[in-house]
Structure 1
Amino acid sequence: MVIQKLKLHEWFLVYQLDHIKRHGNFLPTQIQLDISAYVNSYEQRGQKFPLNAVFVKMIGDWAAANPEAHKMMFRTWSGLKFLFGDEIRINMPIEIKHEGRSVVTAIVIRNPQNKTVEQINRELRTAKEKSIHDFPITKFAYLNSNTFYNRWLLKGLHKIINSSPNLYWKKGGGCLSVSSLSNVSKPDMPFSTFSFGPTGLTFFYKDIVRVENRSYLNLSIGVDHNCYTGIEMVSLLNRLIESFRSGEQKNFNKITQDVHI
């Protein structure tokens, strides 16, 4: 039998998850998006379909058209407050390498609705090549020991950021999130789950399912009921489904006409 103390980054993950569990009221929601037009657009050009970049682009377009979706709640010193971002920011997990091992961290994609899929894809690739030293909190959690003092520092930082919407926004945080589990499993692996995060909506997607010459993306969404009423949630998700329908081929061709991935 082995009893092992958690490393600092393992402890910090548990601490963040406990915070999310205590303060969110989550509704696990699953929808299926018809992305046939988007997949076909790349296949016709003989190009690999960049799922991560396309998803971020389309969510950015949808959020820009539905600003009420770009939202999260804070428990501040003076009571509950909503943060509505004045630009679209999506918290996006990435995997970097440090001394031969994988480290999960995150970047924020800003205003993806104003970028091409190629630009977003390049931004993701560039971020994955960065050093752990480019991510101060990740560096601190991974490279320091699990001591009382280090836990106290991370707790304090987490508390300050998560109780101050002004500071959170000033430091570049986003109001929409993609799960770190997204698009990482093997295509033939029957795996699906729901992810919950600090933002009003957290998205999880695995892979593309093909049925009778159609391509579908199974999308799980962790909806924080604190941020949306039931009517608001249904309305937003219906508009999300509509934005991904194959009938949007014309709009998609317009935003990808300069893509050479």
Structure 2
Amino acid sequence: MTETLDKPAAASRIRKARPAKSAPDAPSGRVRTPGKAVLIVGGIPRADLLPVEVLVHRRQRATVRRAWLGVVVVAAVVALGVAVSAMDSASSATQLRSAQDEGTALLQQQGQYSEVRKVESRTALAEAAQTVGGAPEIDWSTYLTKAQGSLPEGVSIVGVTVDSASPLESYDQPTTPLQGARVATLTFEADSPTLPSIPDWLDRVRGLPGFVDANANSVTLDSNTGHYTVDMTVHINQQAFDGKYSEKTK
């Protein structure tokens, strides 16, 4: 009785122990379970028996190799930069020497014309001295012609006295108030057949170049000729300078 009951139970256990068939689409040797990772059945067993320290040491060695590679690359770049700088420096030094050689050659060529340069220097000095010396010069011939033209018809200048500035000394300025600055004084004697109108004469000489002021010093009658002699003084400022040497230097 007991044996009859135990056999079916064993058979039932055996049927339950049979493996389930895999899905038709699953590859051979693998069992795919929905929602779970692929389980490899019958693969070659593998095990890593190395200590953890060995793996860490390997990773550290790889890091060190990469660091040394970076150092080598940086050193190569620095060496290349130094080489380029050295080449530029050498090129600049060569150009400098070439420029110095050209400068020396030019100086040697200039030495051949040293006498010409001395003459030019002396000429420039003479022109400068001429300009300074001739700066306060007035063309008195032209000025007296204009002064004669400003007088009434029939009146002639018979005597002239000129006092003007010099390149070495400044002209004495008036101390009387309301008198303008001057650089020269023209005093002339004019012969008039008739009694002169002094205000008219003073108005006429106002048109002279550099006119500052004028005054009639005296009027005398010559009993022998019946003519009048007028002594007149005209003060002149720097606008009367002819400036011919200054124009020449320009």
Q: TM-score, normalised by structure 1?
A: 0.18
Relative to total residues, which structure has the larger strand share, 1 or 2?
1
Relative to total residues, which structure has the larger helix share, 1 or 2?
2
Q: TM-score, normalised by structure 2?
A: 0.19
Structure number with higher relative contact order (C-alpha < 8 Å, ≥ 6 residues apart):
1
The structure number with the bigger radius of gyration is 2
